[in-house]
Amino acid sequence: MGITVRDYRPADAEALGAIYTRAVREGTRGHYDARQRRVWAEYWPGGGSWEDRLGGFRTWVAEADGAPVGFMSLGQGGHLELAFVLPDWMGRGVADALYDALEAEARARGLTRLDTEASHLARRFFLRRGWREIARQDKLHAGVILTNYRMEKRLPG
């Protein structure tokens, strides 16, 4: 089954919201407890619809059999904002395909650095792709500590 990567369309918003929710609630099960996953799945600074949330980013959508199975978003200044894959598609090359598109765009823009705040699960992926960990962060959301990692990747200038 082939994976294709394309640009985000506003019609994708609801499907990408569902991917985010499933990726957080199911895909991170081995790294975060049930309360952490619930708070994370419900958290979004500023609220708004998924279409509003994705509108300010350059977002790529991975599809298999014509249906979205993952997405990645690049924000201002080289910040990798979002990277989520359906749990049943994790480990099948979806994140790699999305990341290849994102990094190619960053290089085309002349960016020399990418940064992100990665979950325990995403941290492993980014380390494998040449990123380095800057710091562990414990953030309080709705009375629950969520741990993530500030990370960066230098790109040739």
State the average pLDDT for the chain: 93
pLDDT of residue 1: 62
Alpha carbon distance 126, 113 (integer Å): 14
Domains (ranges, CATH) in the chain? 3-112 (3.40.630.30)
Regions of the chain short of the pLDDT cut 70: 1, 44-48
Q: Report the pLDDT value the prediction gives residue 8, as an integer from 0 to 100.
A: 96
Q: Kindly report the pTM of this predicted structure.
A: 0.94
The answer to whether the CB of 147 falls within 8 A of the CB of 42 is no
pLDDT score of 20: 93
pLDDT value for 154: 98
pLDDT of residue 142: 87
Task: Give me 92's structure tokens.
Answer: 């099948």
